[in-house]
């Protein structure tokens, strides 16, 4: 039986792995279906991680994280986890793709979240090269430049205001005339002179060249096309939390969840199921930043170690 199973190898999972192994746990496996690193590896530049003054691409930034963990004995199994189940003796069963099962005394779930893709032409091609889902991360690259933004929810209109503080203009493209965002948020955004709303409109295409995005073609209500010559487009069309491994056969979740689909945790990253922890973008109120996910992972590992110790 494993002492600890960590599911997901992004900043939260890797930090949990580092703290657990360096803290003396011997039998720790991180189940990560791809190469470790998480969603930040899709970013072309990260410049807001404290202590790392050099601007780096996401892959180079994350490479030393796994190297450091492995040095302390963390094992990486490159497999997808299908389900986590609680056993009657309070241990957990990790069901892995292909039918394999592993038992663990404690589990930290760090499967993150995934910004939903909107589905327009050019979105995948230019993702990370002008198409972004993170204004806090990438807004600064467009300082004093015009940008476009897609979506009409709270995230979209809040982020539009954040970008308006940095950029010369923000075009908010939304498919309806009504907004999903709170009325007060809509009102505030409408008062911002740097924001122009283009409503009842959809993105026809995002185009560019080797250096990245050069513009966005927007299809208006009357069928005409408006060509916005912007180097960046931010899409905020909702998030998909990767919580499916916590779903049981009866479709209920193993632990308490928020309405957003995020996992309810306390300040120790403990769920309401003893021995089950959640960290990073997956947990409630996550600020969705690498530094926060890393901090969560460290907290969850320390809590898991205390839990395992309490079993003796
Ligand atoms: P994730 O990074 O999402 O990692 C989760 C991992 O779990 C993934 O590797 C996934 O493969 C794995 N996984 C999921 N399900 C399973 C399963 N069933 N079995 C096995 N493995 C599984 N933040 C910043 O602080 N600064 C930035 O500049 C910045 N830029 C960004 C740019 C982009 C384009 C994006 C998309 C995000 C950016 N972020 C940035 C946000 C940051 O990447 C996230 O907040 C952070 O990665 C969350 O870490 P996490 O470990 O919780 O989850
Ligand atoms: P959201 O509420 O689901 O809004 C997504 C927006 O994207 C909607 O306006 C939707 O349009 C649009 N959209 C979806 N798919 C699209 C597509 N394929 N193409 C174009 N547009 C598309 O997501 P969110 O804004 O990220 O918010 C998620 C949750 O967090 C919500 O419950 C929100 O209230 C909450 N939140 C709260 C706060 C706050 O309280 N301050 C801040 C941020 C988020 P339609 O409206 O036409 O469906």
- CB burial of residue 134 (10 Å; 0-12, 13-18, 19+): middle
Percent of the chain with pLDDT over 70: 100
Does ligand 2 come within 6 angstroms of the Cβ of 152?
yes
Of all protein residues, the one whose alpha carbon is nearest to atom 17 of ligand 2 is: 118
Domains and CATH numbers, the chain: 2-115+239-310 (3.50.50.60), 131-235 (3.50.50.60)
| Distance from Cα 101 to the centre of ligand 2, integer Å | 37
* 238-293 pLDDT tens trace: 888 999 999 999 999 999 999 989 999 999 999 999 999 999 999 999 988 999 99
Give the pLDDT band (50/70/90) at residue 308.
Answer: very high
Query: Does residue 234 line the site of ligand 2, with CB under 6 A?
Result: no
Question: 138 an active-site residue?
Answer: yes
State the pTM of this model. 0.83
> Bridge-partner residues for 37, per DSSP?
none
CA gap 284, 13 in Å, rounded: 16
What's the gap in Å between 179 CA and the centre of ligand 2? 9
User: Chain-centre distance of CA 232, in angstroms?
Assistant: 20
Active site (annotated) includes residue 134 = yes
Q: Which of 110, 137, 255, 292 is catalytic?
A: 137
Among residues 151, 172, 153, 174, the alpha carbon closest in space to that of 163 is found at: 172
Q: What is the pLDDT of residues 158-216, one digit of tens each?
A: 899 989 999 999 999 999 999 999 999 999 999 999 999 999 999 999 999 999 999 99
- Contact 38 CB / ligand 1 (< 6 Å): yes
The best mutation among 238, 258, 259, 260 to test binding of ligand 2, ranked by most ligand atoms within 8 Å of the C-beta, falls on 238
Atom number, ligand 1, closest to the C-alpha of residue 137: 28
d(CA 12, CA 251): 26
């Amino acid at each position: 039986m494993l002492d600890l199973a960590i599911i997901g190898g992004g900043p939260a999972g890797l930090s949990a792995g580092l703290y657990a192994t360096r803290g003396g746990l011997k039998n720790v496996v991180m189940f990560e279906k791809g190469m470790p690193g998480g969603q930040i590896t899709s970013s072309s530049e990260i410049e807001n991680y404290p202590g790392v003054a050099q601007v780096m691409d996401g892959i180079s930034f994350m490479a030393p994280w796994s190297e450091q963990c492995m040095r302390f004995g963390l094992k990486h199994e490159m497999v997808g986890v299908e389900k986590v189940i609680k056993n009657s003796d309070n241990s957990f069963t990790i069901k892995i793709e292909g039918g394999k099962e592993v038992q663990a005394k404690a589990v930290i779930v760090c499967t993150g979240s995934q910004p939903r893709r909107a589905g327009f032409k050019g979105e995948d091609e230019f993702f990370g090269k002008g198409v972004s889902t993170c204004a806090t991360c990438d807004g600064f690259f467009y300082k004093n430049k015009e940008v476009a933004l897609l979506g009409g929810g709270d995230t979209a209109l809040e982020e539009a205001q954040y970008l308006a503080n940095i950029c010369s203009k923000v075009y908010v493209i939304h498919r309806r005339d009504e907004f999903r965002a709170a009325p007060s948020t809509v009102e505030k955004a409408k008062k911002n002179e740097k924001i122009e709303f283009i409503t009842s409109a959809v993105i026809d295409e995002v185009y560019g060249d080797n250096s990245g995005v050069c513009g966005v073609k927007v299809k208006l209500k009357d069928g005409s096309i408006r060509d916005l010559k912007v180097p960046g487009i931010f899409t905020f069309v909702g998030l998909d939390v990767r919580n499916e491994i916590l779903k049981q056969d009866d479709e209920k979740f193993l632990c308490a969840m928020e309405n957003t689909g995020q996992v309810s945790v306390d300040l120790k990253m403990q769920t309401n199921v003893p021995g089950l922890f959640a960290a990073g973008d997956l947990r409630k109120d996550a600020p969705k930043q690498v530094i926060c996910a890393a901090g969560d992972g460290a907290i969850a590992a320390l809590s898991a170690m205390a839990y395992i110790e309490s079993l003796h």
